Chain A
């Protein structure tokens, strides 16, 4: 660890000073945005891609890397992540402002525990809502997971706060930087929504306690935010003589979300969230999507992009070996990796995300399963790079090897999805990082 940091500091730009240009010569270049260049040169300058092509001049002061036998890819993007947010657990959901209801609060018949927050009485209490929270403000370059991610070829992540129903605003971040500010590529890029409620049979918590409640809450939040925006506008036009609308950070957060991310694993859940998104009239991205192989047409019709989890469903190691498993579950496990191919075939835009896979390298192994299930290698690379950038509207900056884009590059010893292929180094904002030796996670060691 110490070594890595020391090494890093060698290459990290001092404030204001840019590193010298860098050129990778005679490498195979997978541009993603264009054709694969069999023997080309990529020139990086000022943290950007200065030039790419078969006949490109290498600046004289450039640090030249001989790329013979190497392949250059755009840096990989984890399209839904919390990398960079070390304490991925967001602050506890507390009732926030923005109460507009006149519901009389029924008097409790017993003395409640004074230390417990009062259970939410409805959407107006904004439970499990930190929609205003920005990943960009939470990112820290000290997150220990960044190095492992870089070592596996990832240069970028779209990171989100992930606690609660309205978890907060995501940011596209580069996975290295001296200061947090340097990491952020774009923010906010979307609101992360989750449906954490249980079955809702007599539970003790506040609102919402069921899937129905969560949906009702999201719907009301959307209405409230819109109402909030309108009343604010009206007030700003004519403040004199009017009552000041209460400030509502939950509405603020919702309003500034350019898109919403909705969870859905099964086809019927995809159908369900697409209907909700249509109702909300918000651009939506579906995440999870393991049964997307059944819902490709549906997604195509809705025009919703998809983030496919690479954490393919498998039987838990702790499962009872004799537990009868349903055909539905067995089929889902068998076919989930065919989702990317099905989406590609239907013309649905999709990107991959690592979804709690412990070792980032294993994410690439998971992609291989999708390739085995019919996904083309080109589409696989795209889903790890440009597609994610397009989904979040940052394709002008990252995701492919084009002159003018941010110099986020991955250089490997060969085809990305071959088991024996090694990550040689990555460039992030033009800064070179070499992979750390792979160490198994503690749990693996113990077994």
Chain B
């Protein structure tokens, strides 16, 4: 081990670059393997070059002394509208929901505002990348996996198209819950008719897209490009997963059946009643993006901790899942969503994985991100404790090996007003 590091250090004379460094003396939480006490992480050209107890410093490399501190992979928030929405109540600041039911061609990536105030705020708590998702209609568009760093959205990009987002239709009778009490109650038969039509439209859309693809492959005479169907080709070819949003048990079941029938790669997103179907989800090997654990139960009779225990339930069934906050302003609380799950039965390492390695794997970049392993990109954070504990402070954040300042609007206002006489 030591020899190899030495060899590497000698071989790479890039030490002066701002994306090379050696963090040493820390407890290194690799996530993929065991924790390394008093460990070091060598980063060269933005990538992790070495991890271990004794890693020699290449000449001239920046050394970060992290004695008594902890190194973790940067956190990944698997559900946000980062860069797409700024102020909740101000419509003009939102680019989340487009008009129309079928818009697979829409791409979140190109609407991400790199100057959003939410980005530095989330980053300051160790969130280094997020999935930014559109939400309008049925086929909402393509979610992007981005770094919380970059002058432009191009520079932020990890996967410009991480998944197709599908808000699965469900039977909306309205009523029942407080928020919707004022809404008209739709009789079940009518709601079912509306739903059946929506589902038929969805199936029809997939069918048309499939025919389009065949026509294109066969180079049929009179073939004309269709932007919407074009966007569906990667989905039909299994190259692009479909993140299917389904909250309740019945919707989840129907979404699972739909995915099987259409032979698409499914990611189940924001399920609330997934516990009842855990074994079915596992059997189909569908990964899950869970919404916030820090949430009230869905139904009056649900146990008070229903949302807290859902991750543990899925974990026991062997389902692979990652967590999303689905609220920009609370993206920084991503680790506390994992923590609440841990408090209510999820093993600690599973909680950590749900916001790091599992997320990277589900979004198709598990070979490059999500853990502290040689060869992966150095998205790292240095903390003074367990990031799942609220009291823990994030000391430093690195994206692709480059240290990102923790300055943000909140800190600035704090510092400014502390000084007010």
Q: Which among B176, B182, B189 is the interface contact of A318 at CB below 8 angstroms?
A: B189
Does A14 sit at the interface, judged by CB under 8 A? no
Please report which residues of chain B, range 244-269, place their CB below 8 angstroms from some CB of chain A when the two chains form the complex. 248-250
**Which residues of A sit under 8 angstroms from B249, Cβ to Cβ?**
322
30 sampled A-B residue pairs with Cβ under 8 A: A198-B181, A198-B182, A199-B178, A199-B181, A199-B182, A201-B182, A203-B182, A318-B173, A318-B185, A318-B187, A318-B188, A318-B189, A319-B173, A319-B188, A320-B171, A320-B173, A320-B191, A322-B171, A322-B249, A322-B250, A323-B173, A323-B176, A324-B299, A324-B301, A326-B299, A326-B300, A326-B301, A327-B300, A327-B301, A328-B300
Tell me the minimal C-beta distance from A126 to chain B in angstroms.
Answer: 25
B186 nearest CB neighbor, chain A only: A318
> Main secondary structure on chain A at its contact with chain B?
loop
- The verdict on A321 contacting chain B, using a C-beta distance below 8 Å, is yes
State the 5 A-B residue pairs at the shortest beta-carbon distance, nearest first: A318-B187, A326-B300, A324-B299, A320-B173, A320-B188
Tell me the complex Cα distance, A203–B181, Å.
12
Where the two chains meet, the residues of B that have a C-beta atom closer than 8 Å to any C-beta of A are: 171, 173, 176, 178, 181-182, 185, 187-189, 191, 248-250, 299-301
Which residues of A lie under 8 Å from residue B248 when comparing CB positions?
322
* A199-B182, A326-B300 given; 16 more Cβ-contact pairs under 8 Å: A198-B182, A199-B178, A199-B181, A203-B182, A318-B185, A318-B188, A318-B189, A319-B188, A320-B173, A320-B191, A322-B171, A323-B173, A323-B176, A327-B300, A327-B301, A328-B300
Closest to A321 in B: B188
Residues from chain A with a CB closer than 8 A to the CB of B178 are 199
Chain A residues in 8 Å Cβ range of B188: 318-321
Q: How far, in angstroms, from A244 to B227 measured CA to CA in the complex? A: 78
A-B pairs with CB below 8 Å: how many? 33
Contacting B at CB under 8 A, from A315-346, are 318-324, 326-328
Min C-beta distance of B299 to chain A, whole Å? 5
Q: State A318–B187 Cα separation when bound (angstroms).
A: 5
Which residues of B are found within 8 Å of A198, using beta-carbon distances?
Answer: 181-182
Q: How far is the CB of A39 from chain B (nearest CB, A)?
A: 53
Chain A positions 201-228 with a Cβ under 8 Å from a chain B Cβ? 201, 203
**Nearest chain B residue, comparing its CB with the CB of A201:** B182
A199→B175 CA distance, assembly (Å): 12
B-chain residues with CB within 8 Å of residue A327 when the two chains form the complex: 300-301
Chain B residues contacting A319 (CB-CB under 8 Å) are 173, 188
A324: B residues at CB distance < 8 A: 299, 301
Minimum C-beta distance from B368 to chain A (A): 42
A323-B301 Cα distance, complex, nearest whole Å: 12
Residues on B with beta carbons closer than 8 Å to the beta carbon of A322: 171, 248-250
Contacts of B191 in A (CB 8 A): 320
Q: How far is the CA of A188 from the CA of B248 in the complex (A)?
A: 53
List, in ascending order, chain A residues with CB within 8 A of B250's CB. 322
The minimal Cβ–Cβ distance linking A68 to chain B, given in whole angstroms, is 51
Residues from chain A with a CB closer than 8 A to the CB of B176 are 323
Complex Cα distance A198/B175, Å? 13
B300 contact set on A, CB distance < 8 A: 326-328
Assembly CA distance A280 to B173 (angstroms): 40
Q: Which residues of B contact A320 (CB under 8 A)?
A: 171, 173, 188, 191
B249 to chain A, nearest CB (A): 8
Please measure, in the bound complex, the distance between the C-alpha atom of A328 and the C-alpha atom of B300, giving whole angstroms: 9
Q: From residue A362, how far is it (CB to closest CB) to chain B in Å? A: 22
Minimum C-beta distance from A209 to chain B (A) = 11
Closest chain A CB from B234 CB (angstroms): 34
Please give, as numbers and ranges, the residues of chain B lying within 8 Å of A321 by CB-CB distance. 188
Cβ–Cβ < 8 Å partners of A328 in chain B: 300
Task: Determine the distance from Cα of A180 to Cα of B368 in the docked complex, in whole angstroms.
Answer: 88
Instruction: Considering the complex, give the chain A residue whose CB is closest to the CB of B190.
Output: A318
A330 to B70, CA, bound (A): 53
Tell me which residues across on chain B come within 8 A of A326, comparing CB atoms: 299-301
List of A residues within 8 angstroms of B187 by Cβ: 318
Residues of B within 8 A of A201 (CB): 182
Across-interface contacts of A199 in B (CB, < 8 A): 178, 181-182
Q: Complex formed: what's the CA distance from A30 to B188 in Å?
A: 46
